Structure 1
């Protein structure tokens, strides 16, 4: 699970975050699945690689700033692999197609917000509502965000909202499938066949003789 969009509040925060990410991206290691030191591996198929690269091209056409372009990445010894280098967009807006859809690749998009309320409204209005996280030292802002955001899983200073499997995993809106979530007790309930038994044992033969075929609701 990964968060494909980051929403810094205020120009100063956005500029500093971008600077730090640009400096960090060259240190990321792309490798095969057996490489324990790799941060991530290839995408699953050639078609999926083409799809992710198509979304990068779409972002450029829509006017987003492509700060780091991961297209054309090649891993030595695995030149035919479905690898894509880390990619970073800045100045993405909610009207852009790459923001509206899920890219499912190593592409991070920066959507700048001028205020807390604007940042809160972005995931709340999005068609998908799987997971969201807020990073802050302000407890009041964190509680307000968690209570009001229209998303199924919320992390506070945690990048992945559900880090352990015994918590329920599932989103809202178009990120929801079926009528229950996965993992945790919700997952157990999904695989549980419910049996309901209603019983009544009369205290005496007289009571037994007077019994009627009426469901007892009280006493």
Structure 2
């Protein structure tokens, strides 16, 4: 990154181990603090020329990096892990400034990113193949893992630490070189990750960062040297990226949108359920693909549950995430807030009602992107507010007669990322596990996101591809297999 004496920082691209300015005439965008409107940096809208330079640097680095012994790669990752841990407060502060989430959640995200590096540092075990000494008389066979080459990641604004760390640590542990295109709305964290990566001792070109938007994405998807692309973003973008990358012959995993349902049965601890659901629905201003978007309450529990839910939501303070004791920060920008408000207003027009109206509060501002916790009742599945991913602190509430109806309601959604059940019944848990479409399930908790050593296993329109991010799926995604059959 470069500093300017008169105004915000001017970002470049991390290519071949150093910062490079974008080509003359390249457009720019402002990176703003969504809580204050302050301009934090100016980011280049890089295009094909910058992607070409980064791909060339990655390809050059790959030739030697793939030959580095796997334990030596792991030792560099351990070094990187220690640097990240030592800088965790700095990283969280950057995250809060550019994304808006509260400092406590930012620290949690930094920890999740570090855990991804810890998992990748297990590369000596993860890269093991398998052998069978006697497949026939005097003949043996073995499977060996090799890196793909140059791989790319396209990451969203809502988790600028964790999602890049889903990708490049494991990819480079497997012997690949990596090209990262972070969200143009939150590029600062990725820039710092690249600097610390170099400080850990990784060779130049193993990790490259190209800042930009659509033109940079198009160039990545079309570049012949890039063997695989990992993407996280909205459902329409994921579908388009998956189709284009597959058509270009690339390996692709595209993690998409969500409409996560929680089901609350009458035998649950209703107070605990209300607290968990409020945190899951409104934390990070609802801007996470594992956020609770719909709660289906068993009819016999609704009268007792709804006041508890409202109390839990009202206890959440809205404001600048950098201020201690402020759990709910702003949305990423005013455009995101306004899109959610349009869907909210449409639902009210179609007969929904507000139990809690987050549009009203001292946080309202034309410059800052705040929306308080909002609870919408009398929602029906034919409403857009039930069907669409909102990515905002808006929770829809419906009632259902029983668990079977709750599962059927959730499974009507085209999305199948996560779902949660609140109950004290083991039989209900089993039925939920067996019948729910969602790929990540929670029982008596609000956010069922798996740890780095398990796959992030969304389904239906929440995921495009065959191999998920993280866990053994991630290893499979970033490696290819060679089978050797031999007689000696």
TM-score normalised over the length of structure 2: 0.39
2:303 maps to: 15
1:214 maps to: none
Are 2:447 and 1:153 aligned? no
Are 2:432 and 1:128 aligned? no
1:213 maps to: none
Contact 2:318 2:326 in 1 (8 A): yes
Deviation at 1:51, TM superposition (A): 0.5
2:160 maps to: none
1:192 maps to: 479
- Cα distance in structure 2, aligned partners of 1:95 and 1:198: 57
Deviation at 1:79, TM superposition (A): 6.5
Are 2:86 and 1:86 aligned? no
Higher mean C-alpha displacement, 171-180 vs 187-196: 187-196
The counterpart of 2:390, out of the listed 103, 115, 121, is 103
Cα distance per residue 1:148-192 (max 9 Å; x no partner): 111111111121122423221121111112222112221222112
User: Structure 1 residues 72, 80: closer, same or farther in 2, change over 3 A?
Assistant: farther
Deviation at 1:36, TM superposition (A): 4.2
Contact 1:92 1:112 in 2 (8 A): no
Aligned residues: 199
Deviation at 1:71, TM superposition (A): 1.3
The counterpart of 1:3, out of the listed 284, 292, 307, is 292
Contact 2:334 2:367 in 1 (8 A): no
Cα distance per residue 1:128-157 (max 9 Å; x no partner): 110001010010011011111111111111
TM-score normalised over the length of structure 1: 0.84
The counterpart of 1:141, out of the listed 424, 428, 438, is 428
By relative contact order (CA 8 Å, sep 6+), the higher-ranking structure is 2
- Cα distance in structure 2, aligned partners of 1:193 and 1:32: 46
- Cα distance in structure 1, aligned partners of 2:474 and 2:450: 16
Q: Secondary structure at 1:195's aligned position in 2?
A: strand
The counterpart of 2:352, out of the listed 58, 64, 73, is 64
Larger radius of gyration: 1
The counterpart of 1:51, out of the listed 339, 348, 352, is 339
- Cα distance in structure 2, aligned partners of 1:74 and 1:107: 18
Contact 2:454 2:470 in 1 (8 A): yes
Equivalent residue runs for 1:106-117 within 5 Å: 106-117=393-404
Contact 1:85 1:106 in 2 (8 A): yes
The counterpart of 2:323, out of the listed 31, 35, 38, is 35
Q: Which has the higher strand share?
A: 2
**Unpaired stretches in structure 2, ≥5 consecutive residues:** 1-289
**Unpaired stretches in structure 1, ≥5 consecutive residues:** 202-219
- Cα distance in structure 2, aligned partners of 1:109 and 1:184: 32
Q: Secondary structure at 1:193's aligned position in 2?
A: strand
- Cα distance in structure 1, aligned partners of 2:391 and 2:436: 23
Contact 2:423 2:429 in 1 (8 A): yes
Q: Secondary structure at 1:194's aligned position in 2?
A: strand
